[in-house]
Structure 1
Amino acid sequence: MDIETLRRDTPGTANRLHLNNAGAGLLSRSTLRTMTSHLELEAAIGGYEAADQERERIDAVHEHIARLVGGRADEIALFDNATHAWNAAFYSLEFNPGDRILTGRSEYGSNVLAYLQTARRTGAEIVVVPDDASGQLDTTALADLIDDRCKLVGVTHVPTSGGLVNPVAEIGRVTRAAGVPFLLDATQSVGQFPVDVAEVGCDMLTATGRKFLRGPRGTGFLWVRPEMLGDLEPYVAETASATWDGGRGFTWHDGARRFETWEVGYAGALGLGAAVQQALDLGIDEIGRRAFALGARLRDGLDAVPGVSTHDLGTRRCAIVTCKVDGMAAADTAAALAAQGINVTVTNPVQSQFDTENRGVHPLVRLSPHYYNTEAEIDRAVEVIAGLAPGARAIRRRDVRS
């Protein structure tokens, strides 16, 4: 992987030390050109006409995403974000009083709110599967909790609030053996390291374009196992998802496109396709190895700083690193890093409700490198955070007094 060439193709690396890829990755010039050229085409000949002219490239986006996750093009539906993709899958399931939804402590906040709403509406029950000693979802406990009342296992692969990588392949083996649908939120994993739906064994998977895939904001997708379609009733019917029968009825379109809507931001969709193709060309295995290595370097460096603690769980940890500087609010730490040109963000308890109930560590500073970051950038971030630690602050106070 030629890092210098990749950085030249990434304009943002010239301006900032970007460690917020779990929020939004930096666009490459090639992705940017793909998007702007389509917008220019729309301006030149009209939006409908541009879509007709570029139909082959637009349809190929489904192919690219399918290759990325190990599925088929007809199993992919495009969305304007991952939350809408996840909602399309979740709200297509039917829940009744006494039904159970099993999830983990690391579940994403918007998913939790959807569970709570559904429990309120239907009388279904939310069951939080406990973690094992490492902090990842306990698959033995999951298997013990599954019974004939369980209608869904919904799990976040990598939480928004840390480097944990849940054991999703083992979760998939448990759900397949029990015949229970498995909805995987892969928002923070797809694009960061390999995710193959056949290996995972999930029935539905959702992801975004804007994070580790380095695609544009306002893009996302849903993958659905074909055998699952008969158990799902899309909660929106419109001209892109269904065909009118000429009377008072309709039929759903074949495959996952029954979840799509007619209106699509084609510049964004093409940008997503370009970003996915770039990841495929680079090799998602190689991307994963480098991302994990940079994350480990950052985590080890922070762990070596007195007065700084990291808070990532699990036996396998990815390129998301969370930390806290003793005696300093996470927002103040993030602001101090921003003043040094380093992009990070802060975890939000509202986005990690069950984790907050269990640990109470949030908010934390979240740093998330990606493959185009350099080792020197990682070391620079550690150096700046070390300068914020209590010992360094005490030295500065003594220097001021003297």
Structure 2
Amino acid sequence: MPPPFPITDEEVERLRADTPGTANVLHFNNAGAGLMPRAVLDAVKEQLDLEARIGGYEASARSAAALRRPYDAIADYLNCDPTGIAVVENATVAWNQAFFAVLDTMKAGDRILTAEAEYASNFLSYLKAKEDRGVIVDVVPSNDHGELDVDALRSMIDDRVRLIAVTHVPTNGGLVNPAEAVGKVAREAGITYLLDACQSAGQRALDVRKIGCDFLSATGRKYLRGPRGTGFLYASPRALERYRPPTIDLHAAKWEGPERYRWAEGAARFENWENYEAGKIGLGVSVDYMLDVGIDRIETRVEALAALLRERLESLPGFSVHDLGRTRCGIVTFSHPRLDAVDVQDRLRARAVNVSTSSAASTRIDMTKRGLPTLVRASVHYYNTGEEIDRFTAAVEQLNP
């Protein structure tokens, strides 16, 4: 297959003009929260205005089509049926709904396999499961490239493994874990597979049929450029047959009699009744916006911009880049032995340059293994430019003690 047609300079200028925040800041914090395009902002504001004018329930009824659109748009992105999508408050809620649904079927001695660069919120749930249920949590070692070692994963499979749960793109670097290869192992062994796509959704192509996952969780606010307070969960047909949500309300199920109820059809059973409807509409608009640009084109541009940024940072005296993996994404992490990462973030922010930081507490096993206490995290998106990389590199160089 030929490479996707690139996003041209003219398109980038149009996309930047359509993104109000680019006029105010140099935004390299897309792995924290992307800058929303005007269409998303307008959709959220219009729904809030409508609620204020005619009432929340009435606005909901009038906006039924827009509230339905996120399911179809996300399904288009993930290559699945819309009935497999639940729209929820954030990625943590999505992931927890899936994880604790699986945990409800586990017993003491059952095993969970995960990766060295697993995100802190996920690992805390593993530790709670270990404490509450007596399950065993085993960490699959990384290979020489820093990725989850698929051969090691395969060798660790036995009849006690009930779940493989992996973060696709860790929060602390450019690594992209081999999601499809993990899915192949999971399918061969008949083991449930939960993929945390919080950092990959919106910057990388995600096809759940190719990945072979049973669940996939993601947020709207990061690379999808949607509103905060939005996220989604994909549940496969097999997952919907096997697992019941850990929580229930009158949206997730119907109370059919004094002693009986029936779960909602599809992944809607993982939702609850009350939700941020203006944000939900904005999420649908943001996914459509991404699809219009083209996820393959986005992925190619983001990888190229990040590679350029790594090259520039590595050329600066004293600075080190810490990204892993044969395939790398839009997250670039770096440090300086005499500069505190949080201080770097604050000093750059004072210059209207946005970055974030990653501490050992976010991915403790990986960062402790590599002896990394805190990193500066710069994350680019397709609306960023080479000129911004030049400005960013110059700003970082001026911090050199």
TM-score (structure 2 length as normaliser): 0.96
1:369 aligned residue (356, 362, 380): 380
Aligned to 2:31: 22
Query: In the alignment, is residue 205 of structure 1 matched against residue 209 of structure 2?
Result: no
Query: In the alignment, is residue 152 of structure 1 matched against residue 158 of structure 2?
Result: no
1:214 aligned residue (219, 225, 229): 225
Equivalent AA in structure 2 for residue 282 of structure 1:
V
Deviation string 1:14-54 (CA, Å, 9 cap, x unpaired) is 11000000000001111000000011111111100110111
Where 1:233 maps in the other structure, the secondary structure is coil
2:78 aligned residue (54, 69, 82): 69
8 Å Cα contact 1:176/1:201 also seen in 2: yes
Where 1:346 maps in the other structure, the secondary structure is strand
Deviation at 1:388, TM superposition (A): 2.1
Equivalences for residues 149-228 of structure 1 within 5 A? 149-228=160-239
Aligned to 1:242: 253
Where 2:228 maps in the other structure, the secondary structure is coil
Equivalent AA in structure 1 for residue 101 of structure 2:
S
8 Å Cα contact 1:156/1:166 also seen in 2: yes
Deviation at 1:243, TM superposition (A): 1.1
Deviation at 1:61, TM superposition (A): 1.3
Where 2:257 maps in the other structure, the secondary structure is coil
Aligned to 1:287: 298
Structure 2 unmatched ranges of 5 or more: 1-6
Deviation string 1:281-331 (CA, Å, 9 cap, x unpaired) is 110011111111110010111111121100001111111000002311111
1:274 aligned residue (285, 288, 296): 285
Query: In the alignment, is residue 324 of structure 1 matched against residue 324 of structure 2?
Result: no
Equivalent AA in structure 2 for residue 111 of structure 1:
N
In terms of mean alpha carbon deviation, does 349-358 or 159-168 score higher?
A: 349-358
Aligned to 1:99: 110
Deviation at 1:169, TM superposition (A): 0.6
8 Å Cα contact 1:325/1:388 also seen in 2: no
Structure 1 unmatched ranges of 5 or more: 394-402
Aligned to 1:116: 127
State how far apart, in whole Å, the 2-side matches of 1:270 and 1:240 are: 18
Deviation string 1:88-142 (CA, Å, 9 cap, x unpaired) is 0000012211000000011111000000000100000100000000100000000
Aligned to 1:32: 41
Where 1:193 maps in the other structure, the secondary structure is coil
In terms of mean alpha carbon deviation, does 367-376 or 242-251 score higher?
A: 242-251
TM-score (structure 1 length as normaliser): 0.96
Equivalent AA in structure 2 for residue 62 of structure 1:
Y
Query: In the alignment, is residue 50 of structure 1 matched against residue 59 of structure 2?
Result: yes
Equivalent AA in structure 2 for residue 53 of structure 1:
R
Deviation at 1:70, TM superposition (A): 1.1
Residues 361/125 of structure 1: CA separation in 2 closer, same or farther (3 Å cut): same
1:140 aligned residue (147, 151, 162): 151
Equivalent AA in structure 1 for residue 70 of structure 2:
V
The percent identity for this pair of structures is 47
Where 1:153 maps in the other structure, the secondary structure is strand
Deviation at 1:244, TM superposition (A): 1.2
State how far apart, in whole Å, the 2-side matches of 1:91 and 1:341 are: 41
After superposition, the CA RMSD in angstroms is 0.9
State how far apart, in whole Å, the 2-side matches of 1:323 and 1:38 are: 40
Deviation at 1:63, TM superposition (A): 0.4
Aligned to 1:258: 269
Deviation at 1:172, TM superposition (A): 0.5
State how far apart, in whole Å, the 2-side matches of 1:66 and 1:158 are: 20
Deviation at 1:76, TM superposition (A): 0.1
State how far apart, in whole Å, the 2-side matches of 1:325 and 1:339 are: 19
State how far apart, in whole Å, the 2-side matches of 1:277 and 1:298 are: 28
Instruction: Give every structure 1 segment of 4 or more consecutive aligned residues whose post-TM-superposition deviation is greater than 3 Å.
Output: none
State how far apart, in whole Å, the 2-side matches of 1:13 and 1:112 are: 35
Equivalences for residues 299-338 of structure 1 within 5 A? 299-338=310-349
